[in-house]
Structures are given as C-alpha cells and as structure tokens.
Structure 1
Amino acid sequence: MTLRALLLGVSVTLAAGQAQAQPDPADAAREAARMLEEASITLSEAEAARDRVKALTGTVRAYEAGLAAMREGLRRAAAREAELTAQLRAREDEIARLLGVIQTIETSAPPVLMLHPSGPLGAARSGMMLAEVTPGLNAAAKRLAEDLEEVRTLRQLQQNAARTLQDGLSGVQQARADLSKAIADRTDLPRRFAEDPVRTAILISSTETLDGFASGLSEIAADGSVTPSSADITALRGAVPLPVQGLMLRRAGEEDAAGIAREGIILATRARALVVSPTPATIRYLGPLLDLGNVVILEPQPDLLFVFSGLAEVYGEAGLVIPEGTPVGLMGGAAPEIGAIVSTNADVTGTERPETLYIEVREGGSPVNPETWFRTDKDR
C-alpha cells in the first residue's frame, strides 16, 4: 500500500466516524445531573411550600425525569464509548502501518531522504507527494486524538456518575416519603361521601368481577347517599393525559400471552413511578380488590369512572374530591442498583419499565376503549 493510499484510508475512516456521531452523550448526562441538582433544591423548597402536596408531587416528578435522563445519558455514553473503541481497534493495523512509515521517514538521515532510485525527478515527485498528504495526515491525527479524548471523557463521566445517582435516588426516596406524609396530613379537600368499611367489605365479598364491583359503588357510602356532582370533563375527551409516565404495552382488545383480551389498556412503567389523577375527580374507591392488586377508582364526572389497577401503594380516602395532578399511588418494584444503571446499554432497556398499570374506563356503567378519553398517541 502506498503512503498516499494509506493516509487516504485512515483519513476517510476517521471522517466517517465523526460524521456518524450522535449528539454529544456526555452533554446529555451532564444535563441530567443538572436536572437532579435542581430537583434537590426543589425538595428543600417544598418543605416550606403552602401546598406541600403539589410541591412535593412536582419534586418527585422532577427527580423521576432527572433519573430517566441520567439513565439515557449514561446508556448513550456507554454506547458511544463502545462505538469509538471498536472503531479504534478496527483501525489498529492501518494506524500501525502509518506510524511505521512516519518513523522510517523520521529516522532516515537527511542525505538518504534526498536520494531516490529514479534520480532527482523521482525525489522531487516524492517530495511533492509528501507535501500533498501532510495536511491530510495532520487532520487524521487530530481526529484520532479527539476520539481518544472523547473516550477518556466518557469513561470519566461514567465513573463520576455513581455519586450523582446515589444523591438522586436518595432524594426521590425522601420526596416520596414526604409526599405520603403530606397527603395523610391533608385536611383541606372537600368530601362527597364518607365510606362505610362494612358496606365496602360486603360489596367486595359479594362480587367476583370488576364490573360487579363498579356497579355497586353507590352502596359503600356510610349514609347510603353521595352528594351530586356537576363536574364535566367532556371537553377533554380524547385529550386526558395518562396518569403515569409509561409506554403502551397492550391496547384494549389485544390478547396477551395467555390469549386473554381485556377491556382496558396496559402501560409499562418504571419501578416506583408516581401515579396521579389526570383530572379533578372524586375517589370512589382505593385499596385491594379481587385479584387486581391495589385499585384506584376515580369519578371525574357522573357516570364516568377511571379504573387504575396494579399499584403497590395508594394515597387518599374514598369520598374525597381531589384536584388534577393529585397523587393517588405508587407503582411497585425496586429502583435498579447504581451499578446496573451506570452499565446500562441498549440490550437491557426492556428491564427499565418492569411494572404494569392497567387502565379501564367505564362510561354509563359499561367499559369503553380508554383511548376514547386518554391521549395515548405519544408514549412518555
């Protein structure tokens, strides 16, 4: 291989690696660290907020967003490092041959460099060729140095991420605990009815399906009556936000692995994700139900129920009227270990959303496709 061809090959390969580069993953990880730092400041400010529930809800969501961004930033950093490392290894032979030629030129005595088998004309041509390829050599060497520096930066970033993640995970855990206490201490919400535990237990024991339980919800009030509601969210039909950050796993009517099709949709969520009421609503029921795990049933307007099942924890009391964005529970699972987050790559992204939330909508006493009400065109 001629010197010109060797230099051209190395230069083209390096340039291709630069052209295919994604937006800087190191910057993405740094931005995520900034988000987590701001969430920490928000948590300290939430302690003195007049509406602590609202402030802490925003804090938990800020931490969730920051941790998700950090996971993504570290994944991209790991993928970029692997890409650069593979490119450098693939070019080892070319770079070694190039360095060999350069070393040969540098170690040759000046008089020898003046000689050429073809005489003075050949020597002149060789000099012209070296002058032509030198700028390309310098550019290739510069890009190689930049790649090596980027690899060092990405490795350093991943090594330093552990403390940031530890602070973020500790912060969101504290925010969730504070939020749970703030909800328990809240006394300023209106109430449409008082739940009778005995009637609720009788209703649960006498029904075998969600349909039967939902139909008998009016029976759980202590005095047998519920204050009428004039709430109307008809204008939000098809635009109600999902109650949790998640990805669509199964739509209404789609069969699962066992061949069972359900009336609602299933979202894949991260562990310990916060579930909120997507609209102002009355809590008609919350707690364990049948084989559905913890269930929250909200009534945003008369004859319309939003049913969420699969939560690990639930917040509030039946009968309370809650504002939009009020937390109603947490998903289950355990947050991933820091080491697992730092080493996350594209092959394990499916483990990031291990929990599932089932959402069913009942209108006029019958189930309807949740997408009639919820905006599901954009996965979050």
Structure 2
Amino acid sequence: AEAEAGLAAERARVADLAGQSRTLKDLLDRVEGEVATAKRSADEAKAAEQREAKATQDRFAAAGIRDPAKLAPKVKFVDARGDVPRPVSGRMLRGFGQPDGNGGMTRGISLATRAKAVVSSPADGWVQFAGPFRSYGRLLIINAGDGYYLLLAGMDQISVEVGQFVLAGEPVGNMGEGSAVQPVMSGDGSDPILYVEFKKDGGSIDPEPWWAKSPSEKVRG
C-alpha cells in the first residue's frame, strides 16, 4: 500500500510539473531544480544523526522524492562518448542543428521507427520525468549524472517510473503505430517518430559523436 501511494504521489508530481511548465526548457529547469534540492537534502541527511536521517528519509518518501545518490552509473556518461547505444533502430529524418521549419534550429534528432518498436535507455541514470508533455507526446527525461540529461519523446507507452534507476540498454517504453510528435518533427506522420535530445548543463549538445558505431561503421573506420 505504501509503495502504491508513493507511485501515485510521483505521478501526481509529474503531472503538476508538466502543467506548470510552458516549454521543454522550463520543464528541464524545474527537473534540475528538484534534483539539486533532493541531493542537498540527501547530503544533509547523511551528516545528521541516524534518527534524524531516518526521519528525513521518511519525509522524502511521503513527498514522493527519491534519493538521487542511492545508485550511480557504472560508467560516467562523459566517459561513454562513442559507446552510447542508440535507443531505437530507425531512419534519421532530421539531425541536430538543422533548420526546424519554424525559423530556428533543431536541438535534437528525429528518428522514424517501426510500429511498436521497443525504446531503450541510452545510458545508466535516474528517471526524472515520465509522462505526457504538450506536443512531445509521452516524454522521458533521464538524469545521466554530471549535468547530462537525455530526453526521449514520442513514445506511446513508458514502462518506467519517476525515481527509478535504469541501465543503458534497458527497455523504457514502446512506440505506437504513428507519430505522436508531428509538430516538432519532420515526416508525413505515417511512421512513429522518436525525438532524442541530449543536454549538458541546460544546453543542447549534438548526440551524434556519442553513439556507438555499428559493426559496418567500424569496418569502414
């Protein structure tokens, strides 16, 4: 019953975050603020006496906040450059830094996938947001540590919960039958489209140098 109540509180908090945020950047800023607050609270709890630490953890649990320091990535994301697995197999529709059709430049990439494709986490990390968000369909934000955040949008279903620690390559959701994020993608809407964005300290970075090479790419050098 306590676990179910905790999950319900997490989902309510995620819905509240989505409702308060006007843009994707605004949402990420709020998520980063929560992470920083939770980390400071966790550090204070470790330095306190055992009784006070337990009371603090109980308060965190009641508020639906998970301790972001309880697990750590096996490999730091910054050291995984060139070895990050792609979240899904797909055809590139639009790359990073290209005109977005609205007078700006793309801050992520768009991949056309097969229907019902399984989406996996590109890295070890903590789930900071999981749920619907404006024109992005179902959005997943993974905190990979050291200021890196990985955004995956356009899924039909998300199979992980906020606060959960996921591993690189672990399934986190499924695509649907068609595109759920047409306003921010390119394509005719006939194929499901996964939008992927990497962020470092609030700024978008090109994910291309991070992907692991396929066997054929390694042969070509």
Verify same fold: TM over 0.5: yes
Q: Which residue of 198, 202, 205 corresponds with 2:16? A: 202
Which entry has the higher C-alpha Rg, 1 or 2?
1
CA distance in structure 1 between the aligned counterparts of 2:9 and 2:81, rounded to whole angstroms: 29
Q: CA deviation at 1:210?
A: 0.7
CA distance in structure 1 between the aligned counterparts of 2:105 and 2:91, rounded to whole angstroms: 18
Q: CA deviation at 1:223?
A: 5.6
Q: CA deviation at 1:322?
A: 1.7
Q: Which residue of 47, 67, 71 corresponds with 1:226? A: 67
Contact 1:276–1:328, Cα closer than 8 Å, also in 2: yes
Look up the SS of the partner of 2:123 in the other structure.
coil
What is the aligned length?
172
Structure showing greater relative contact order (alpha-carbon pairs closer than 8 Å, 6 or more residues apart): 2
Are positions 1:365 and 2:202 aligned together? yes
Contact 2:198–2:205, Cα closer than 8 Å, also in 1: yes
Against the structure 1 CA distance between its residues 287 and 224, is the aligned structure 2 distance closer, same or farther, given a 3 Å change threshold? closer
Match of 2:191 in 1: 354
Q: Which residue of 153, 159, 165 corresponds with 1:315? A: 159
Look up the SS of the partner of 1:211 in the other structure.
helix
Contact 1:272–1:330, Cα closer than 8 Å, also in 2: yes
Which has the larger helix fraction?
1
CA distance in structure 1 between the aligned counterparts of 2:162 and 2:147, rounded to whole angstroms: 17
Look up the SS of the partner of 1:202 in the other structure.
helix
CA distance in structure 2 between the aligned counterparts of 1:327 and 1:294, rounded to whole angstroms: 15
Residues 229-308 of structure 1: matches in 2 within 5 Å? 230-231=72-73, 232-256=76-100, 260-308=104-152
Contact 2:149–2:198, Cα closer than 8 Å, also in 1: yes
Contact 1:230–1:302, Cα closer than 8 Å, also in 2: no
Against the structure 1 CA distance between its residues 197 and 275, is the aligned structure 2 distance closer, same or farther, given a 3 Å change threshold? closer
One-letter amino acid of the structure 2 residue matched with residue 204 of structure 1: A
Are positions 1:213 and 2:27 aligned together? yes
Q: CA deviation at 1:359?
A: 0.4
Q: String of CA shifts for 1:13-55, please: whole Å, max 9, x gaps.
A: xxxxxxxxxxxxxxxxxxxxxxxxxxxxxxxxxxxxxxxxxxx
CA distance in structure 2 between the aligned counterparts of 1:355 and 1:257, rounded to whole angstroms: 20
Look up the SS of the partner of 2:135 in the other structure.
coil
Q: String of CA shifts for 1:59-80, please: whole Å, max 9, x gaps.
A: xxxxxxxxxxxxxxxxxxxxxx
**What residue ranges of structure 2 are gaps of 5+ in the alignment?**
39-62, 179-186
Contact 1:277–1:328, Cα closer than 8 Å, also in 2: yes
CA distance in structure 2 between the aligned counterparts of 1:329 and 1:223, rounded to whole angstroms: 22
**What residue ranges of structure 1 are gaps of 5+ in the alignment?**
1-186, 188-192, 335-349
Contact 1:264–1:358, Cα closer than 8 Å, also in 2: yes
Q: CA deviation at 1:375?
A: 4.1
Look up the SS of the partner of 1:216 in the other structure.
helix
Q: CA deviation at 1:199?
A: 3.4
Against the structure 1 CA distance between its residues 309 and 209, is the aligned structure 2 distance closer, same or farther, given a 3 Å change threshold? same
Residues 57-68 of structure 1: matches in 2 within 5 Å? none
- Normalising by structure 2, we get a TM-score of 0.66
Against the structure 1 CA distance between its residues 358 and 304, is the aligned structure 2 distance closer, same or farther, given a 3 Å change threshold? same
Which has the larger strand fraction?
2
